[in-house]
Amino acid sequence: MDPQTQPKKRNRLKFLTPFQRRLFLLLGVSGVLILANSLYLFGYTAWQDWGDMRARLVPFYQWMLLAHFAVGLLFVALTFWFVALHLPKVWSHFRRYSVSTGLSALIGLVIVLFTGLFLLKLGAGEENLWAFHAHRLAGLLGLGAYLAHRFLSWDPTPHRQRRLVGVSILVLAGAMGVIHWVAARSTPPPNVIHAKAFEEIDISSDPFLPFRPIGDIDPHSMFYPSGTTLASGERLDPEVLMPGPLPDPAVVRAEFERKGFTSDNAIGAEDCRLCHQDSVTQWENSAHRFSSFNNPFYTASVLGTRNDASPQVSQFCGACHDPAVMLAGNFLEEIDRGSVAAQAGLTCTVCHIVNRVHNVTGNGNYELADNGEDPYLFKGATEGWRLELRKYLIKARPRDHKDFFMRPFYSEPEYCASCHKVNVDVPINGYKWVRGQDEYDNWHNSGVSRNAAATFYLPAEARVCQDCH
């Protein structure tokens, strides 16, 4: 055949050395993996946002988040290595469009890297959504710039071009298929409780039913005469309300015997302190922390109630002052005042797993979601790499953490009324109904709430308890 008429042999990846070609192949494999991983994460997030899947954080999704971090860093490292070897050689064969698209892809990757590290450090909360969207957009634009770079820089035969497109589609589809096959067979999501804020009152049409006032407590209920209930219907383990690393019981007891109460250890708050330092610092100096047997004045009051009435009657106090002791069923027996649970006070978890408030009559008439499970991996980790991975997962997907521990009705004053409104009735004082402390009604009937027409000091806008507290 005439050499002049023979088709010119196209040199694929002509600017790459053999080592660079192997590196390029490895880069391509990691690129396909991170692309399939990103598509899965995007699809899962969209499913939650647009479908009826809110707060169902499956374990497989979390493993994919961890893989996104690991494979993403590998892909970035390989890319920088490849560019460092490749750029000096191709720069001398300057092609404007090839260089501009290649640099655009590299800039997109740099933005992806820095926004990813930013989110890793500070989390993908609402205040950092700009970084989250920038991470996604930069990745998409970087991918587009790279495809344009390959189109301009490589001149394959039509047959090779079709084969490349076909193989790429098959590899990506295969990776996505494997991911979704494993996801469909992964462990189902934990039971995460999201009940209504306030229990609806069933007003029967039967006029012959005996009258039972709102707030009347069943004498056979587990924690009578308090109105507290548990979603599980069973007594709970005190450690449910005291997550994270706990102090040595011997150290707590020694301090109790020395001072009469414990103040050196933030019992049940160390796990929260990892991310919520300011909140824990405020709690450490609050009346909520010193609400139980770590408060000498309360201790004298509740012991007097137990002596003058009975241990069961003292459960009326325990609902709002000693939940870690009472909800474990320990109020009906001799209380070990030097135990970790008795010195815990109202921990963060007590108030942040309230599932509902039954009504606005107070007296501790709340329900705890004690049968809800922490949906994140590595539950109970207190140190080491497991703890770091758990923190990463919470920061990467904080919405599920917030949905469980910060329910919408926590911003309503009725939430506070469950413990900040008290009445003492015949089962407790053996006398008659007597009003106790009542911050809720005082607020409700004041001008601040804008509910009272006769008040003359109405503010411009109504305020609730949480606006000041």
Same domain, 159 and 236: no
Whether residue 207 lies inside any domain: the answer is no
Same domain, 34 and 175: yes
Mapped onto helix, strand or coil, the DSSP state of residue 68 is helix
What pLDDT sits at residue 95?
Answer: 67
Residue bearing tokens 């590196």: 23
- Distance (Å, rounded) from C-alpha 463 to C-alpha 184? 47
What tokens appear for 419 in the block? 């413990």
Same domain, 25 and 156: yes
Same domain, 92 and 27: yes
Domain edge (last residue) among 149, 184, 219: 184
Same domain, 150 and 291: no
Instruction: Classify residue 226 by its DSSP letter.
Output: S
What tokens appear for 282 in the block? 């405020």
Whether residue 385 lies inside any domain: the answer is yes
- CB-CB neighbours of 50 under 10 Å: 8
Same domain, 176 and 238: no
Q: What is the pLDDT of residues 132-156, one digit of tens each?
A: 889 889 888 888 888 887 777 666 6
Whether residue 194 lies inside any domain: the answer is no
Same domain, 312 and 436: yes
- CB-CB neighbours of 89 under 10 Å: 12
What pLDDT sits at residue 457?
Answer: 67
Instruction: Classify residue 227 by its DSSP letter.
Output: -
Same domain, 258 and 168: no
What pLDDT sits at residue 192?
Answer: 46
- Distance (Å, rounded) from C-alpha 317 to C-alpha 313? 8
Whether residue 63 lies inside any domain: the answer is yes
Same domain, 258 and 157: no
Residue bearing tokens 């309230």: 354
230: β partners: 368
**177 vs 68, 172, 183, CA distance in Å?**
17, 8, 10
Same domain, 362 and 464: yes
Taking Cα atoms as reference points, which of 398, 238, 394 lies closest to residue 324?
238
Element (H, E) at 368: strand 366-368
188: β partners: none
Taking Cα atoms as reference points, which of 13, 167, 129 lies closest to residue 82?
13
* Beta strand 354-357 pairing with 421-424: unpaired
Domain edge (last residue) among 130, 152, 184: 184
Same domain, 170 and 307: no
Same domain, 146 and 268: no
Whether residue 290 lies inside any domain: the answer is yes
Whether residue 64 lies inside any domain: the answer is yes
Whether residue 120 lies inside any domain: the answer is yes
Domain edge (last residue) among 162, 184, 206: 184
How many domains does one find in the chain? 2
Taking Cα atoms as reference points, which of 308, 305, 334, 309 lies closest to residue 321?
305
Whether residue 432 lies inside any domain: the answer is yes
What pLDDT sits at residue 154?
Answer: 65
> Which domain covers residue 325, as residue numbers?
229-468
* Beta strand 354-357 pairing with 366-368: antiparallel
Intervals of the chain under pLDDT 70: 1-16, 48-56, 90-95, 153-162, 164-165, 167-168, 171-172, 175-213, 215, 454-457
